[in-house]
Amino acid sequence: MTPAEGPVSRPATIREVAALAGVSHQTVSRFLNQDTSMRPATIEKIKIAMAELHYSPNLAARALRSRQNYRVVVVLPEASQYVPIRVLNGAAKAAHLAGYRVDVVALEGTAKERMESIATLLAGADLAGVLSFAPLPPEALGGAELVTRVPIVVAGAYDDKMRASGTFANGKATIKIMEYLHGLGHRNFFHVAGPLDWISARNRKDAYEFAIADLGLHSHGIARGDWSSKSGYLAASQIMASPDVTAVVVANDHMAFGVMRALHENGIAVPTTVSVFGWDDLAESEYFMPSLSSVHMDLETQGSIGMKRLIALMRGENLAPELLSEPTMELVLRESCGPVRPSSQGLTIPTS
């Protein structure tokens, strides 16, 4: 070690965790071995101490002793920017606190290549479970024996009572968006949906259609995007083909950015002529021109909930009530939405 280098930090030990938590090292060992008879207060003290010391148990040694696996895999779509990093951070933290190692895998390539990647992933002998933020087609999961052996949670799926669960499933905020825009006088709408193999995209589309019928509004169409800004940009051509549209509800912020760019290029002012509402409350939304109205979620908590659902499944535990609750969402109102334009003003594209 050269003088310029400081002492190499060593990982915390189980005895140091025990000392900080005010318990015996045997008690910490019981916690790591998932002793269900421990008091909740004791468990909480140990978790706090582990987090403060950045304690990571020797998972390989534990696996050999207990014959259990401690590796979980988080699956992201190829375009992983559509799963915000805050969601991934929440999931990883929950896994580490429970004593699991996390690997992150992005599904890339053709449909066939993605299918092969999933099959290879699930065949791993040391795999404890999978949390996926991308849809996993049934044919990619193999036979019932594989699914039974490897617990899998797809964020945005439903439980056996058809309650929305996971990170992005609930689409009810779309109804609140529609009610808000209706209050501004809007009656003619367009929806840019996400890819409909995502339950979140289907739920937001379904909520949009419900609000159209419930509020007596008129929908001029639904375009299918792929979460990308480019797909929103291309969808704008369908919006501009319907001159009566005054409000566009978009399934995520990325696509909303593309919509607004295309409208701007064609001389259609937001929100003077058309109001646009997104979803995700990305950091960029506040600084776009105009700033984008959006739906804010506690993404860290939702990532944590997804991982805790997986951990409960892996351990054969009942889900705690908070893991079945709907995510907290709120509308963030910004410059991209305004009162409906005068009825005499149509949505026209200026000619050069």
- Residue 64, burial from CB neighbour count under 10 angstroms (0-12, 13-18, 19+): exposed
Task: Give 188's DSSP letter.
Answer: E
What is the 3-state secondary structure of 72-87?
EEEEECCCHHHCCHHH
Which residue bears the tokens 């999961």?
141
pLDDT per residue as tens digits for the range 246-280: 999 999 999 999 999 999 999 999 999 999 999 99
CATH 3.40.50.2300 spans which residues of the chain?
Answer: 67-154+300-327, 173-293
CB 292, CB 258: distance < 8 Å: no
Residue 103 banded pLDDT, cuts 50, 70, 90: confident
CA distances from 179 to 189, 214, 255 (A): 12, 10, 21
pLDDT per residue as tens digits for the range 309-349: 898 888 888 877 777 666 678 999 999 999 998 764 555 55
Structure pTM? 0.67
Which residue bears the tokens 């979803």?
279
Euclidean distance between the first and final Cα of the chain, in Å?
Answer: 70
Q: Quick one: which of 268, 249, 262, 276 has its CA closest to 338?
A: 276
pLDDT per residue as tens digits for the range 124-157: 667 888 998 877 766 555 544 444 568 888 876 5
Yes or no: domain 173-293 corresponds to CATH 3.40.50.2300: yes
Quick one: CATH architecture of 67-154+300-327? 3-Layer(aba) Sandwich (3.40)
Given this model, what pLDDT does residue 290 score?
97
The Cα 290–Cα 280 span in angstroms is 16
